Structure 1
Amino acid sequence: MPSPRRYAPKALPTRAVREPPTPRGRTAMNESAHRDTFARDHLPPREQWPELHFDLPDLDYPERLNCAAELLHGPPDGRPVFHTPQETWTYGELRARVDRIAHVLTGELGVVPGNRVLLRGPTTPWLAACWLAVLKAGAVAVTVLAQQRPHELRTIGEMARVQHALCDIRAVDDLAKAEVPGLRITTYGGDGPDDLLRRPAPDTPYRAVDTAADDVALIAFTSGTTGRPKGCMHFHRDVLATADTFSRHVVKPHQDDVFAGSPPLGFTFGLGGLVVFPLRAGASALLLEQSGPRQLLPAIAEHRVSVLFTAPTAYRAMLAEADGHDLGSLRRCVSAGENLPEATWHAWHERTGLRIINGIGATELLHIFISAADDAARPGRTGVPVPGWQARVQDENGDPVPDGEPGLLAVRGPVGCRYLADPRQSVYVRGGWNITGDTYVREPDGYFRYVARADDMIISAGYNIAGPEVEEALLRHPDVVEAAVVGRPDEDRGQVVVAFAVLREGAPRDPDALRAFVKRELAPYKCPREIVFLDALPRTATGKLQRFRLRTEGDQQ
């Protein structure tokens, strides 16, 4: 594949040169390399796509593009790419291992371009190598969290119709219990002869599948306010566009940077910050299986981490334990996943001398689209549109509101929301804009200030938690008759989940037992911190749940 520098900056018109004169600049699809056309067949109708803009010279991608090949191309074989507490991989070793996995995928396992391949495991170089191999082989990566439970995994597997899975041997039990129809699971990291890393494969370079720039490369799942996850389909060019906008123009990485952070690769925040951005820059990343504040603090000093990606919760926690730890190697600190409090920004700046790069992103748009760095960063403000992106604040009718007044945040750029066969597409995309579900104010100087979520999503320690999804888990308990879940403000985590339950007559009111049940149904971070038992949920005369009353009661707990 050609070097990323092949796309030398040059003057471009307002829209990409290949865009036809179709309404609102929607691009024509290139000829797909996918033999399994499920992903393209289940894109939303073209009239429901957002407007796409490719204003930067960096975004002038060719029609044929394999993002994995692009990310792997360029740096010398001996340059480090992934570090762990136990070892360091070089770019040469990563290329060889990716090629070997790709040979196994398309050879013995029979994966064809367009097949969906589920990836599951803790954050390790092998998980990153599997992700790159899937994309290089022209398949579609569906990376899930190692924390997710069988019920959640089955839903994702069925929605994406995954046929294959590459799973860390330590995380295979729940995936097997999910019983996804037709799923073939291949483990890695084990001792058996069928292990992915022990299967015979040619020790020769793997020629990347000649995918179209707009072939689907990955499906990232996020929970919506209804509790049913939404599959966000992103193209090969989208993966590079996140690096060529936010990373290149705001983070401004160097080849000798060492990236690290807390988000797992199942979150697009982590995928960008720990894999895509460092590889695009020819830099390296520290991949930690345990990446909480207590693990990050000593790791920063030991591995001389210079670029850090984590949530405001982690920055607050690290401040409390920073004494005695050397943070002098840091030069870039990125925050996203939840609103960054102004007090946290100031406290971090006072302790380290560093200005946190605040940002807002979305799984629907793959990564961060509003941010600011260095002298342009302002505490209490998210920032300005990242180069390559546009943003405005509008009302429910789609009309812009005056500066200083709150409204719905609307954005557009080189990446847009394309849900997997989901009617909520027409809710997220309106009039060519992506409506993120956040209430914002655009100030007269052009900076955007976060106000609140515009829906019932609970954001706790950077995790998006859909209240209805937790309610459904509670209702699967035989003693629960009714359930409602709300978020309660919390100084350390932003919000915590509070559940209200009505039990069948005579059932014991045991919050610990009910919480343990939910932990078996959902990822632990979704489990209620508190469970309140009521005789009845507050409802209107027409039977509608009065959530505002529960929020008031939850605030008093």
Structure 2
Amino acid sequence: MELSPSAHVDTFCRDRLPPFPLWPELHFDLPELHYPDRLNCAERLLDDAVRRWGPDRPCLLTPTERWTYGDLLERANQVAQVLTEDFGLLPGNRVLLRGPNNPWLVATWFGVLKAGGVAVATMPLLRAGELAELCEIGRPAVAVCDHRYLDELASAVSAVSAVSETGAGTGTDAASGRLRPAVLAYGGPGGADLVARCAAKDGTFPAVATAADDVALIAFTSGTTGRPKATLHFHRDVLANADTFSRHVLRPRQDDVFTGTPPLAFTFGLGGLVVFPLSVGASTLLVEQASPRRLAELVEEHGVTVLFTAPTAYRAIMTAGEAGRLAGLRRCVSAGEALPAAVWEDFHAATGLRIIDGIGATEMLHVFISASDGDIRPGSTGRPVPGYRARVVDEEGEPVPDGQPGLLAVTGPTGCRYMEDLRQTTYVRNGWNITGDTYVRDADGYFWYVARSDDMIVSSGYNIAGPEVEKALAAHPHVEECGVVGAPDDERGMLVKAYVILRPGVAPDGATVKELQDHVKRTVAPYKYPRAVEFVTDLPRTSNGKLQRAELRKHARSAPGAPQSPSPEPEGKA
């Protein structure tokens, strides 16, 4: 296997791709997946859209703003000018992005890619320690941040070393060896703000002629060890998801209006709220945060026709009595966690809409098993999306008979490429991507979700690593030992549950529960906090002292336990 000649001066990402023998099998079964060797996905999605449909089509909407395709192109070009002219960004440099879903975040994403940079989008609720770890892994040259979210980023930047000890690979850019990125705020006051800087640029910027297999973005996914895994995706990968799931299952139209709740740092959100609508000239309503009730109101107010969110939100909209506001929808998409058949049936009865379920993975970039319209079987995830192949295998990688549970394995035009991470050999086996999910395939080729087969907790569509929460809890002086697993929950699918051994003298009461929960919220992203805490006197361990999370999961399924605190939802969570 050979890569095309790179346009990246800073070869940090390409140097850290896994060795070719560890790559999954890639195949391009559809004619639309045959891309030219030189390809910049930002140019294809944005410049080509303006050339095809003109600059005046509505593109990015908010409850108070309206950007056309021409507006977005001009501002993306201005961002690229600011990054290259004011900050010396070179092709291949990484740019960390931090902010809620809004037009300037999208403009920055496009500007980074047009400049030949690598976009590293992060969750806006991440705390300083989490951000510092991402900086140490990805070594961004610049961090572009919504001015309202600067505090945690500033703490993160001050916590990392100023210069990498291991150097910058073979690239010639000194900034690529920098662990402490330059910070550029947007949306705030002053002439140093990105928006003010952009106003001084003429908005003309020819996209860098990147290779189709140059890295376009680093997407982080939670690892079961608690250390994030950096997944590397090419320019062609970004388009491949539009040319598979979107084109063949979602089938969007130019007059569609998209919206949804997943952050753009989630590849589910990036595809559903940016790549898919722009690939057909549609518009997207960007919502920084919204309760299920508010989300339904926005759908009605703005004539939304395509909605992306998690099963939790669909259930909550019905519970709130707001299903009637969704009458204008044409497509509803659910991913991030398994969609219960009962939720699908209840939602269909209330609205007449058929939710499109699907399973995707950060490693694969987006959805690879799904179904729509008459092909949907409630409770089933669906069948392989055109362009992908899937099967159920045993631990040795051999296919199991239909009707028997096993590990989900998938291949297609995208696949797992962890950046310099030994976990590549766990995710990719015999050329197949092994997602960590247990599935059953029926005789008709439909795939049915059984359970996660690792320590990942999937709650309301968010992937949460139990060991990461354990690490945060263990840092509190009240905690002697702890174990964290997912517990079944009707509302969220799963919730984070902590089993805690307290130090002597600490009261096992509701006040202690709340103190521990608040501590976790301050330490890691608030959505990761344990919504259930059970105090215990011992934890199940192996003979060599390893925590047996499987035993804790069994206990969680049979006895959910308490106490739980009355603490409110973390800010920004739908």
TM bin (shorter chain): over 0.9
Which residue is equivalent to 1:19?
none
Cα deviation, residue 349, structure 1: 0.8
Query: TM-score if structure 2 supplies the norm length?
Result: 0.91
Cα deviation, residue 323, structure 1: 4.1
Which residue is equivalent to 2:473?
474
Measure, in 1, the Cα distance between the counterparts of 2:23 and 2:413. Answer: 12
Matched residue SS, 2:284: strand
**2:90 is equivalent to residue 112 of structure 1:** yes
Measure, in 2, the Cα distance between the counterparts of 1:297 and 1:204. Answer: 36
Matched residue SS, 2:327: coil
Measure, in 2, the Cα distance between the counterparts of 1:96 and 1:386. Answer: 35
Cα deviation, residue 554, structure 1: 3.2
Which residue is equivalent to 2:144?
166
Report if the CA contact (8 A) 2:455-2:549 is conserved: no
RMSD: 1.3
The Cα offsets for residues 301-347 of structure 1, whole Å up to 9 and x where unpaired, read as 11110011011111101111244743221011111000000001111
Residue correspondence of structure 1 range 98-177 to structure 2 within 5 A: 98-177=76-155
**2:208 is equivalent to residue 189 of structure 1:** no
Measure, in 1, the Cα distance between the counterparts of 2:16 and 2:112. Answer: 20
Report if the CA contact (8 A) 2:95-2:120 is conserved: yes
**2:541 is equivalent to residue 539 of structure 1:** yes
Which residue is equivalent to 1:42?
16
Measure, in 2, the Cα distance between the counterparts of 1:498 and 1:300. Answer: 33
Report if the CA contact (8 A) 1:301-1:325 is conserved: no
Structure 2 segments unaligned to the other structure (5+ residues): 162-179, 562-574
Measure, in 1, the Cα distance between the counterparts of 2:142 and 2:546. Answer: 42
Letter in 1 for 2:501: V
Cα deviation, residue 552, structure 1: 4.0
Report if the CA contact (8 A) 1:297-1:322 is conserved: no
Which residue is equivalent to 1:199?
197
Measure, in 1, the Cα distance between the counterparts of 2:24 and 2:542. Answer: 37
Once structures 1 and 2 are overlaid, which stretch shifts more, 174-183 or 345-354?
174-183
The Cα offsets for residues 377-433 of structure 1, whole Å up to 9 and x where unpaired, read as 110111111010001111111111111111111000000100011000011001111
Which residue is equivalent to 2:176?
none
Which residue is equivalent to 2:37?
63
Which residue is equivalent to 1:239?
238
Report if the CA contact (8 A) 2:58-2:67 is conserved: yes
Which residue is equivalent to 2:57?
79
Measure, in 2, the Cα distance between the counterparts of 1:307 and 1:324. Answer: 15
Letter in 2 for 1:236: H
| Count of residue pairs the alignment pairs up | 531
Matched residue SS, 2:422: coil
Residue correspondence of structure 1 range 223-238 to structure 2 within 5 A: 223-238=222-237
Measure, in 2, the Cα distance between the counterparts of 1:168 and 1:448. Answer: 40
Cα deviation, residue 111, structure 1: 0.7
Cα deviation, residue 131, structure 1: 0.5
Structure 1 segments unaligned to the other structure (5+ residues): 1-26
Letter in 1 for 2:54: P
Q: 1:470 to 1:204 in 2, by over 3 A?
A: closer
Cα deviation, residue 193, structure 1: 1.2
Report if the CA contact (8 A) 2:293-2:322 is conserved: no
Cα deviation, residue 162, structure 1: 1.3
Which residue is equivalent to 1:529?
531
Cα deviation, residue 503, structure 1: 2.8
Measure, in 2, the Cα distance between the counterparts of 1:326 and 1:39. Answer: 45
Which residue is equivalent to 2:358?
359
Letter in 2 for 1:130: T
**2:68 is equivalent to residue 90 of structure 1:** yes
Measure, in 1, the Cα distance between the counterparts of 2:539 and 2:133. Answer: 29
Measure, in 1, the Cα distance between the counterparts of 2:210 and 2:542. Answer: 54
- Which consecutive aligned stretches of 4+ in structure 1 deviate over 3 angstroms post-superposition? 322-325, 552-555
**2:394 is equivalent to residue 413 of structure 1:** no
Q: 1:554 to 1:420 in 2, by over 3 A?
A: same
Which residue is equivalent to 1:20?
none
Which residue is equivalent to 1:11?
none
Matched residue SS, 1:375: helix
Report if the CA contact (8 A) 1:234-1:418 is conserved: yes
Report if the CA contact (8 A) 2:117-2:216 is conserved: yes
Which residue is equivalent to 1:9?
none
Which residue is equivalent to 2:208?
209
Cα deviation, residue 545, structure 1: 2.3
Cα deviation, residue 479, structure 1: 3.1
Measure, in 1, the Cα distance between the counterparts of 2:448 and 2:503. Answer: 45
